[in-house]
Structure 1
């Protein structure tokens, strides 16, 4: 097993083979990769394991740069497993290049249907049994000797924690969730009916902080309505694509980053004012799904449960959007109103404007029309939960509805919440371990 040493941390690779469909264990196999992180000098200690479930869907695990971010705190007490969820990172990839090998759009969609949280937690269970379901020889192991491990779920990773608690509670010693308590019985339309007003409030906050951006955004959107503009990768920057930069607004520094992007938008070229190469490169970096196509392909499916939404997801964000006319760019331009940026929404036109998604347009349509998504959560089992669970709920989180999070917290027996407006959705990553430390102390009864 390769070992990499960085300042304060020792990193090791693990790869397992799992069934594409866990209900067909003799069928096609895929690889799932995870990186083990342990504090330098403690490699041989019998530390308890902490599995990290990344946000997304479709996000690879963090790539440590030494003992950084929340690992500063986690490695005091745990041996951490950073899981590249199936289809991401160094696990068997799922993108336009590899999915082309599947052939038809229907075959691609059938393959992708196995990449939600229910499959991810079953992969994790294979990993748990591989690492600590039996005694390890000479290193690692579980301090209590009972084969359980702890979970840390960020955003979508928290959704995975709820699925894990619904399926394999006996495998979990304790669980920490940051910004990721899903509504157990919330359908996709309700998700977006709650999301658009939250995003509107983030827009209001941004424009109050940077009032000059009102005219800057209107000028850019108006230009994009009049002219076809391509990004450096050949993608199309439409006015609606420009609005999608609002995904940034839910992060702690997102408003500032958006402002600096807008202020560098224009240069004077041979034909007069035009959008600068630097601006277009920055926009491309924010909008392209080339490094995470599963986010676009599966995002609405994470809300699909046959007992909640038997009609399927059917591009819920697009269908609900007309209920919120403040996001109509043409109306805003005509009325002299601020152009509202959108948030964590996936729209069908993205599969036309983004080169990384264009070949997957038909597969995405099939997934959007699917009506038999299995349920992801077991409310009855969660109501009788015995696993200690603590969760950071961010006040007015742009990505995950606070009301849904608190309703779920009341449903999961024994779950304790810390509601805070000190951090935004990315608090786990940017707080230097403070968010995780608070949750650990809560789980231990220290606060």
Structure 2
């Protein structure tokens, strides 16, 4: 079976040949004759290649981070896409519910009915469904087993792919995305809270003046109403979400630039600047990506409720509390108060509560299949990643037969934004044993993978 499929005529964008693909897939893959949704993907090939030659290249499916992230919109080849475009037809997938796929927002979810109906609908938007979509798409495109490149949550999806549809894979590359195969979500947040605390310490050591300004902003927000452009009052805990900057190498410095413009003098005294509030709004609003907040904890849910794991584990780390003497910035954790404070999420509060309480999440991985894996896999693990813990990643790597690890202290979670070409070439060389990169392959083997 393959998905009914339409494709646009190819069009040119700055040295790229671009084709838009739309596929019709079952909402519930266990009920192939039931309700359907649309999944969108965009193909990119090198326009300098004759079209017939480009169409003979093997496919590479890019699995984006998330949950709820749409495929990248390329303006030109660069970084890893530049490296890959000479060897592959690139397919950027809008995972179900994102981008130009059948959308999933507070507006469209209202059509589903009450909170229970919405939660049941959302249960079909995890990695298992994404992988089943990918297999139907591969067959519709007439592709042989293809190469996948998974960043962050895309790596989680890759592990699901290796578990349940390894026949569809030629080889898989993973960056910052080796999920724990077992155990409750609590262990993930316990590990990542420690990583985020260490990253805060690193940041404040680099910019010691920002320790004072961060605390000043927190105390100011407790006593002086400040409002985001969308109209709601900015809370301390929501301001702490600016810690998303800490997940990257160069992005960390963006937090410093934000704080530099925090306060302005007004007739009413010092207030937070419009520039600051506008930027913070872009960091904390989930209007463009509600799936992230709704399904984030569920990506760790297998057979039991996640029950707001990050909120519970937070009690073990009082330094992250908004009323701490010197509060720290938080990471990518999701908390129930998101659905009280973000206007885009408020209508989904009851739905989120039902998802947090759901006990019957199916397995996302098959440890037995992974233990006998035969698909070549290489993974970049970043030593100080605050989102996907290094120790848990190496635990997973050891459980996947043949998976080779390249561990690096030089990058954070968004490593492919800093040296995408180098990372892609290294991982591809590792899965293929290419002699010109044998040193990288040997270093990966020496790491214990």
Identify which range, 434-443 or 205-214, moves more after superposition: 434-443
Indicate if the aligned counterparts of 1:132 and 1:148 stay in contact, CA closer than 8 A: no
Indicate if the aligned counterparts of 2:241 and 2:283 stay in contact, CA closer than 8 A: no
* 1:249 and 2:246 correspond: yes
2:340 corresponding residue in structure 1: 352
The Cα shift of 1:434 comes to: 1.1
Q: Secondary structure at the match of 1:348?
A: coil
* 1:188 and 2:191 correspond: no
The Cα shift of 1:430 comes to: 2.8
* 1:64 and 2:61 correspond: no
1:3 corresponding residue in structure 2: 10
Rounded Cα–Cα distance in structure 2 between residues aligned with 1:186 and 1:416: 23
The Cα shift of 1:236 comes to: 3.0
From 245, 252, 257, the equivalent of 1:260 is 257
Rounded Cα–Cα distance in structure 2 between residues aligned with 1:432 and 1:375: 32
2:308 corresponding residue in structure 1: 315
The Cα shift of 1:92 comes to: 0.3
Task: Show CA shifts across 1:182-224 (max 9, x none).
Answer: 0101311111111111000010011001000001000000011
Indicate if the aligned counterparts of 2:22 and 2:41 stay in contact, CA closer than 8 A: yes
Identify which range, 265-274 or 119-128, moves more after superposition: 265-274
* 1:119 and 2:129 correspond: yes
Indicate if the aligned counterparts of 1:14 and 1:33 stay in contact, CA closer than 8 A: yes
* 1:369 and 2:335 correspond: no
The Cα shift of 1:432 comes to: 4.2
Q: Secondary structure at the match of 1:129?
A: helix
| TM-score under structure 1 length normalisation | 0.93
From 179, 200, 203, the equivalent of 1:203 is 200
* 1:418 and 2:411 correspond: no
How is 1:73-112 mapped onto 2 (pairs within 5 angstroms)?
73-112=83-122
Identify which range, 102-111 or 229-238, moves more after superposition: 229-238
Rounded Cα–Cα distance in structure 2 between residues aligned with 1:235 and 1:102: 27
Q: Secondary structure at the match of 1:331?
A: coil
Rounded Cα–Cα distance in structure 1 between residues aligned with 2:301 and 2:231: 32
| TM-score under structure 2 length normalisation | 0.93
Indicate if the aligned counterparts of 2:150 and 2:173 stay in contact, CA closer than 8 A: yes
Identify which range, 40-49 or 198-207, moves more after superposition: 40-49
Rounded Cα–Cα distance in structure 2 between residues aligned with 1:240 and 1:22: 39
From 41, 52, 60, the equivalent of 1:44 is 52
Q: Secondary structure at the match of 1:184?
A: coil
C-alpha root-mean-square deviation of aligned residues, in Å? 1.0
The Cα shift of 1:283 comes to: 0.2
Indicate if the aligned counterparts of 1:50 and 1:80 stay in contact, CA closer than 8 A: yes
2:37 corresponding residue in structure 1: 30
Matched length: 425
Indicate if the aligned counterparts of 1:8 and 1:39 stay in contact, CA closer than 8 A: yes
Moved over 2 A (4+): none
Task: Show CA shifts across 1:38-81 (max 9, x none).
Answer: 11133322101100000000000100011123111110211111
Rounded Cα–Cα distance in structure 2 between residues aligned with 1:432 and 1:382: 27
Identify unmatched segments of 5+ residues in structure 1.
134-146, 333-337
Q: Secondary structure at the match of 1:44?
A: helix
* 1:219 and 2:211 correspond: no
Rounded Cα–Cα distance in structure 2 between residues aligned with 1:294 and 1:301: 11
